[in-house]
Chain A
Amino acid sequence: MIDVDSQKAFLKQLKAACRHVIADQARMKVYETDGLTAKKALPAYVALPETIEEIQACMRLCHAFQVPVVARGAGTGLSGGAMPHEQGLLLSLAKFNKILEVDVDNRLARVQPGVTNLSISDRVRPLGLYYAPDPSSQIACTIGGNVAENSGGVHCLKYGLTVHNVRHLTLVSPEGKLYELGGHGYDSAGFDLLALLHGSEGMLGIVVEVTVALLSVPEEVSVVLAGFDSTREASEAVGAIISGGLLPAGLEMMDQLAIQAAEDFVNVGYPRDAAALLLCELDGSAEEVQQQLQLLKQILTDAGATQIKVAATPQERHQLWLGRKTAFPAVGRLAPDYYCMDGTVPRKALPSVLEEISDLSKQFDLGVANVFHAGDGNLHPLILFDANKPGELDKAEAFGAQILELCIEKGGTITGEHGVGIEKIGQMCVQFTSQELSLFHGIKAAFDSTGILNPGKAVPTLSRCAEFGAMHVHRGDEKFPELERF
């Protein structure tokens, strides 16, 4: 923390370093939160640089004055990763919204970090290309934010997360120096720092340029809907599809509550009587898709599918996906509020995890709808509650925490694609030991020795974990027993 005189000096120099600075409370208030509105903090300053030089100047200044820096893209994150620091600078990269170069021969696009995910695909689609990772917020979320959270999406089962689709990054260090990571090939000498940066949640550097890989738009796409009488059968079918040798472009599951909600909302023809449904997208050449389709139908039938529907035309495909894509707002109509969780379990654990979530739902007396990326085991339970009823919010939070701990217990992880941010920082203490967390802090210190980048997010301090452990003893196991508690 810096004193009042230093704050004045800092602000004066910040305004000289960057053309667009906001420092009045009234206007900074719109920057107090990202997509996770429950977590808010008013920043001390907001800067909207337009050039890399301005970013470097801002970083040098923050380093000199030891002012914390939180980078922000479109502010669509769901774990509070871009929640400001009260004594810090919120560094918005939204003005960096240009696609700099499309290299068709090498199938690469060099873009600024504030470019939205979807606009890359929109730009290169006339060339028969697209950018594969497609988080559901792809219309608005930025590629810089995708790197920070290592975002996925429906198609990441086959085409990988952001980390698998980025070839090169330009980074500004906390001291304001410019670094290049990665290259245009698949491998480079030394440690794979390019991979390390993905999912680092703005704690290692400021990404100022991203080169992404582009793929050819597949010749043929087919979407199959399969209805089941139980979530167990549906989730066992997920395992059977993958172990049967198929790698679908997308493999999604919805349970009965989600099916009903989606049907009420958009009426796309989902089977209302089914306890669960799978949506499976196949892509490739025409022959390839036909062959996969035959195999898929066989596997689904063997797994007990009560009905199978194949969408062949683009309109039919659009219809089937529409229900899935609007499922969140549709579920939102079932209750005044919902809490969207994000955790991942190994595919084989899906049947038992879904049953345990259903048991927890009865135990907490709160409804839960499941709409999720089944193929990669990435769960999104939506806990229904009413924030205006006393106690329900706490109950929903406790329910959510138990789901995350269930994920860990089954050999999974507390995040699938939303990141840890501020939301799941407590559960990090459950997933990792103090030794592992110390290792994370060591890596952070190697990039950011004074800890000015997004402090307090993603990796909890050991003392924070001690506090969390004191509040929250899971099934009698006290975490971090080696730490003193006060």
Chain B
Amino acid sequence: MLAVCTRGCSMQTIIHPDVQRLPHIDEAEKILRNCVHCGFCNAVCPTYQLLGDELDGPRGRIYLIKNLLETNDIDGESVEHLDRCLTCRACETTCPSGVQYGRLLDIGREVIATEHSSRRKPNPLPHLVRWVVPRSWLFDPLLRIGNVVRGFLPQVLSLKIPKIAAVNAHNKRSLKPESGTLSYNVVSNVTQRKVLVLSGCVQKSATPNVNRSLASLLASHDVAVEYLANEGCCGALDLHLSAHAKAKQRMRYLIDKMHESLSDYDAIISTASGCGVTIKEYPTILADDAAYLKKAEEVCGKVVDAVEYLAQFDFSSLSAKAIRVAVHTPCSLQHGQKMPTSLEDILNRAGVQLVATGEKHLCCGSAGSYSLLQPSIASALTARKLDNLQLDNPDVIVTANVGCQMQLSASAGIPVMHWLEFLAQHHDGLTK
């Protein structure tokens, strides 16, 4: 039955019987029932801003998914509109009805992948990305070769190769690199607090400074850092490229690894908010996996982003108060993990001079592997983001996720750093 009403009246949904038996469909139906079609989401959606087409905004995509679940069919062009979503989840921050759009899209993409994969145009790129990136023995040398030959490539290609951040002298001197085995980098005693730090697959190769910076900042507050041996990938990459089975396999593997010595740690810290947002959602993603749900909940109870863990410490003795800093809070932190001001807050407390920026809610165009798969939208968003970040002439841009850092640094005229790198470089306590 159709409801005659405006805001507050949801869209009635009649799920196709063949779809009803698929995983997570009850969850999708509940999410659909919350949407009242008010259109507030479109106003903050990056692709809607650029393309101005209802099909390329969250409200239209919700409609496409509703249609998919009701008819158990979707055409190729509609799939493209769904694939064009960055999953930045800015829409969730704005939605007055609490629609969990990210989950709905994920469920929709899984239905397409399992039931209607022939509707998607064949494209080897996603498979290649999924295969190469988590294999650091392959990704690492490829990235290094790319950085060497960058200068000889046409710009359209060179911008796609992530820059490896130069290891700063301070970190090189004082800290051991992350290694494949558990590595204690600070002399520990029995009562010392310990945290487990996740390496991340891209970050480990592209911005190895970040976790070293975290370790040095924590060392100044007497917290020891440990890493997992053979950590693997958190599954975010596979999840975003509709390889749900593989993603869940990686998730279970990482849950087991983290669960082994859970009680030893004060917290499990992710320094890449793009990984953190996925790990925090393990219990939702694995809701129908009885064997892993409890374990996932236990592990995720301890997983925090670095901004959350470091909020308890005082970093106010900065040597860099004259440096003007523009902050880009990654979508995975502000919209995904629902911490819109956490990064600015911690930097403000540390006494960092923050400059004004515009359109804070908009994605930088990185969005995991999106920049490789949708290059024209990604580069338009990057240009817009850089304009907004450089409104007030900053000296440096800081962010909290490896993807954003690489995407912005490829075309920014000024340095782009992870905030942990910035803080470690300028924290007086470390150089004493």
Contact = CB atoms under 8 A, between A and B. Distances in A.
B52 interface: yes
B201 interface: no
Interface in A102-118: 114, 116, 118
Nearest to B96: A329
B55 A140 contact: no
B75 interface: yes
A329 B8 CA distance: 6
A182 interface: no
A74 interface: yes
Contact of A48 (B4, B8, B52, B97): B52
Interface in B14-59: 36-44, 48-49, 51-55, 59
Contacts of B43: 74, 116, 118, 139-140
Contact of A137 (B3, B38, B55, B64): B38
Nearest to A22: B55
A30 B4 contact: no
A382 B52 contact: no
Q: Is the interface of A mostly helix, strand, loop or mixed?
A: loop
A338 B38 contact: no
Contacts of A31: 54
Contacts of B42: 74, 140
Interface string A313-343: 0000000000000101101100001111000
A95 interface: yes
B7 interface: yes
Interface stretch (A33-41, A245-253, A276-284, A352-360): A33-41
Given A387-B1, A393-B1, A396-B5, A137 B40 contact: yes
Interface string A396-429: 1100000000000000000000000000000000
Contacts of B59: 30, 75
Q: Is the interface of B mostly helix, strand, loop or mixed?
A: loop
Chain A contact patch, size range: 35 or more
Contacts of B94: 139
A338 B55 CA distance: 27
Given A20-B53, A27-B78, A94-B54, A332 B1 contact: no
A48 B53 contact: yes
B10 interface: yes
A177 interface: no
A109 B311 CA distance: 43
Nearest to B98: A329
Contacts of A97: 49, 52
B63 interface: yes
Contacts of B166: none
Interface in A3-32: 20, 22, 24, 26-27, 29-31
Contacts of B312: none
Contacts, number: 129
Given A116-B43, A329-B97, A339-B9, A35 B4 contact: no
B52 A331 contact: no
Given A20-B53, A74-B42, A387 B7 contact: no
B12 interface: yes
A338 B52 contact: no
Contact of A78 (B2, B6, B53): B6
Contact of A387 (B12, B52, B75): B12
Contacts of B4: 38, 339, 393, 396-397
A140 B54 contact: no
B90 to A, nearest CB: 12
Interface string A104-147: 00000000001010100000000000000000010111000000
A76 interface: yes
Contacts of A27: 55, 75, 77-78, 81
B60 interface: yes
B11 interface: yes
A234 B94 CA distance: 32
A29 B63 CA distance: 8
A313 B44 CA distance: 28
Interface in B75-129: 75, 77-78, 81, 94, 96-97
Contact of A340 (B1, B6, B10, B41): B6
B1 A339 contact: no
In this complex, which of B8, B10, B37, B41 has the most chain A Cβ atoms within 10 angstroms of its Cβ? B8
A206 to B, nearest CB: 16
A92 interface: yes
Contact of B75 (A24, A48, A95): A24
Contacts of A33: 37
B136 interface: no
A26 B60 CA distance: 12
Contacts of B40: 76, 137, 139-140
Interface of B: 1-12, 36-44, 48-49, 51-55, 59-60, 63-64, 67, 74-75, 77-78, 81, 94, 96-97
15 contacts: A27-B55, A27-B77, A30-B55, A37-B6, A74-B43, A76-B39, A139-B94, A140-B43, A329-B8, A340-B5, A340-B7, A387-B2, A387-B3, A387-B9, A396-B5
